[in-house]
Structure 1
């Protein structure tokens, strides 16, 4: 008899192996990266990654702190992390027994006519009965083949992926705020430069008017000078719309009141030089970039999900038990005879599912291949971003150096032209052309300086960012 029971239990194990073949082996090698960045400039080993952010600007540190505390996009990402943690907790709890309790009162009424034969004399049926019951139940899936364990591993990997995604959102948010603050400061600096240019153009217009009244120059010179001043004034007024756009963008990014954002720009921007680009290696992107870490976590989750799906081919052993009280009178509920219970062990295995599990395995395998492709895409996206950022830093620095040299030379040419004009050695048109060229080069130099700082923010984000705890408000 014992051998018969063993044979019956082994039959599902043998037949379940025929439901589907083994899970496919999918290779996921780590992408090979170059030893060095191709477009990295001559970087200083001691340069700090955090120095690429405009932390010397009080407006940036204030707004970044506000965003890290209560930005809508970051709050949404953190909520997704909590949801993933809840899913992992549920997957872990599924591996433990489930214990429940219930109580019931059931009243029934029976029609004696339902019995075909008449009852013997002296025997009657209680047609109305009330049953009182209370039970404690337990159920446990032993997870012999690791389906639940693999599902828990997948859920934990999803937590890592969600956490990495939240970190990516955090870095993108800080980078966007830094870039917008730099753009806002650049507009302010351009406005200051244009104000000075307008004063210089107005002074030249007054000089032309004085010479016109003295009969030393035609009225056309004065009109040209006034037109130049009006052009500068128009360019200065146009900066207002650009500042409004940047201001609104900062309100959106930080989730702060407009008055708070406006107050952040009360402190002037300190004049500092652009920091050097730090030296890094492409291999460090795999550990520093949150999007790469997130893609790697998703790949691990898909691998665990494939394992869990493949293990559905094997039997499931479930233990269940119940103990309780059953009585037909409230006074008899705690009698010894009212104690009832059950204990059961169930073994369930798929025999013929006509390809259902195999299709699920194929789908999970396809998801793993897609996750691996996404991981490779994230790695090479990170490599491309870093190469681009290094190239932008080098190009922006070269542009800034050329713009500063151009400004110095054109300012000197404008001063010489004005001196020669006052001495009667040059005509007024030469002075206007020299001043217009100098004014335009000064604004271009200011804009080039902003682009140089902005390129460093892009490099900071491309290399995976840095510790943001100094920007987080302390409670």
Structure 2
């Protein structure tokens, strides 16, 4: 009968080894995405342009509000908290690879029936009640011979990178939203200036019509139509207030500042809109610059480490543990040498018949890795599509702005010539009024077109991955 344990161990060893080699981790290919050599709509001769120039760097409101958003913006604070959470997870995974040492103490009072010990209990040799006093230090350690804990730590570290990249993405989106809102505000200023100029010209025209009416050389209807044109300009100017209120509310949400502070920042004068040249870039640069691509790559690395950890669960785990403590039945004997107790244990445990549990874990981790790779490829081609579209929109917006400015200049000159001819009696008031209305609309259109050109550059800045060092403080 004494040979049974050895025989049992010999019988179980092949099963244990079989469990170790079952359910191997599948090989999942993750080839690098095939990117084009250049962007289709990238402008020529823009190699010297800087990415930071795409943002309204010269606008004091942009600097003030972006700094406030970085310091106090609620969306960024949430993203930074997720980084802290990921770091805590990595520290926990690293700590799991080190010995775990605990301490405990107890006082126990037991009451028994001495009769259970037979004659000795009935004769009073066994006490009915007994108190014990104990204190222990317990240490345990998994040497992680097969690397499961190390793989889990790699996954946790990769998730820090993913959380950091996601926070950078939130930061860039936040800065882009603020830049777009500030740009929209400056466009409103430019539109307001154009409308005010239109109103001034209409009032001057009404004054001229009044003079000619008083002189009896023009009907009063001319003056009324000129005054109606001036009133139309006032209505257009008043309509801008609702757009200003919307922008202030948006900036309050983005920056975490009150409305008065936002309004004060926007009240500081800024240079006129002058869109900068779009910088040249390579599609391959998106892999390093885009936060969403970096986050997807880190998530893929984490899923790869998770798959490795799941595969290593097939192997046995060896645990070393030890206990040293004191146990006494009288407080006075607590520190006697006879009260010292201890235990040293080495254990091994591994899958034998788990009925597919380990295999299911490996399959789930493999599926997660395939999903992470698909998400990574999706992020890469999303970045490529964003950059291609942004370059194309910049080109189209620049053409629109150029044509709108030329149209404004031509129609303004035509209105001036019509008014001169009217003063000389060579043109009718209707011709002057029609030329004035055409010029009035062109000024506002040109301001809006310049704003769209600047906004397109902000979209391009974000699509290319932003300017991390110049636009934001580090996450630590």
Q: What is the TM-score normalised by the length of structure 2?
A: 0.95
The 2-side partners of 1:121 and 1:298 are apart by 70
The 1-side partners of 2:164 and 2:385 are apart by 23
Contact 1:16 1:315 in 2 (8 A): no
Tell me by how many angstroms 1:9 deviates. Answer: 7.8
Secondary structure, counterpart of 1:198 in structure 2: helix
- How do residues 389-468 of structure 1 correspond to structure 2 at under 5 angstroms? 389-468=390-469
Unaligned runs of 5+ in 1: none
Secondary structure, counterpart of 2:119 in structure 1: coil
Tell me by how many angstroms 1:241 deviates. Answer: 0.2
Secondary structure, counterpart of 2:162 in structure 1: helix
- How do residues 180-191 of structure 1 correspond to structure 2 at under 5 angstroms? 180-191=181-192
Contact 1:390 1:459 in 2 (8 A): yes
The 1-side partners of 2:390 and 2:174 are apart by 17
- How do residues 286-435 of structure 1 correspond to structure 2 at under 5 angstroms? 286-435=287-436
Unaligned runs of 5+ in 2: none
The aligned length equals: 471
Q: Residue 13 of structure 1 aligns with which residue?
A: 16
Cα pair distance change 1:106/1:224, threshold 3 Å: same
Cα pair distance change 1:259/1:140, threshold 3 Å: same
Secondary structure, counterpart of 1:270 in structure 2: coil
Contact 2:415 2:432 in 1 (8 A): yes
1:343-392 per-position Cα deviation (integer Å, ceiling 9, x unaligned): 11111111112122211211111111111110001000100111111111
The 2-side partners of 1:64 and 1:180 are apart by 11
Contact 1:417 1:431 in 2 (8 A): yes
Q: Is 1:22 the counterpart of 2:19 in the alignment?
A: no
Contact 1:205 1:225 in 2 (8 A): yes
1:246-269 per-position Cα deviation (integer Å, ceiling 9, x unaligned): 111111100012222122123211
Q: Residue 132 of structure 2 aligns with which residue?
A: 131
The 2-side partners of 1:138 and 1:144 are apart by 18
Tell me by how many angstroms 1:113 deviates. Answer: 3.2
Determine which of 60, 71, 74 is the counterpart of 1:72: 74
Contact 1:44 1:279 in 2 (8 A): yes
1:215-268 per-position Cα deviation (integer Å, ceiling 9, x unaligned): 222222222212211211111100000011011111110001222212212321
Secondary structure, counterpart of 2:267 in structure 1: coil
Q: Residue 250 of structure 1 aligns with which residue?
A: 251
1:177-196 per-position Cα deviation (integer Å, ceiling 9, x unaligned): 00110001110111111111
The 1-side partners of 2:142 and 2:122 are apart by 52
Contact 1:12 1:315 in 2 (8 A): no
The 2-side partners of 1:326 and 1:456 are apart by 76
Q: Residue 110 of structure 2 aligns with which residue?
A: 108
Secondary structure, counterpart of 1:136 in structure 2: strand
Secondary structure, counterpart of 1:119 in structure 2: helix
Q: Residue 230 of structure 1 aligns with which residue?
A: 231
- How do residues 147-158 of structure 1 correspond to structure 2 at under 5 angstroms? 147-158=148-159
Tell me by how many angstroms 1:8 deviates. Answer: 7.0
Cα pair distance change 1:289/1:268, threshold 3 Å: same
Tell me by how many angstroms 1:440 deviates. Answer: 0.7
The 2-side partners of 1:323 and 1:118 are apart by 35
The 1-side partners of 2:464 and 2:300 are apart by 22
Mean Cα deviation higher: 318-327 or 270-279: 270-279
Contact 2:16 2:352 in 1 (8 A): no
Q: Residue 46 of structure 1 aligns with which residue?
A: 48
Cα pair distance change 1:368/1:383, threshold 3 Å: same
Cα pair distance change 1:100/1:230, threshold 3 Å: same
Secondary structure, counterpart of 2:37 in structure 1: coil
The 2-side partners of 1:225 and 1:286 are apart by 59
Cα pair distance change 1:120/1:248, threshold 3 Å: closer
Secondary structure, counterpart of 2:343 in structure 1: strand
Determine which of 54, 57, 72 is the counterpart of 1:55: 57
Mean Cα deviation higher: 154-163 or 264-273: 264-273
Contact 2:23 2:358 in 1 (8 A): no
Contact 2:273 2:454 in 1 (8 A): no
Contact 1:17 1:314 in 2 (8 A): yes
The 1-side partners of 2:60 and 2:139 are apart by 61
The 2-side partners of 1:247 and 1:470 are apart by 22
Contact 2:52 2:470 in 1 (8 A): no
Tell me by how many angstroms 1:69 deviates. Answer: 0.9
Cα pair distance change 1:310/1:376, threshold 3 Å: same
Tell me by how many angstroms 1:471 deviates. Answer: 5.9
Secondary structure, counterpart of 1:144 in structure 2: coil
The 1-side partners of 2:221 and 2:273 are apart by 43
Contact 1:50 1:467 in 2 (8 A): no
The 2-side partners of 1:240 and 1:135 are apart by 74
Cα pair distance change 1:392/1:405, threshold 3 Å: same
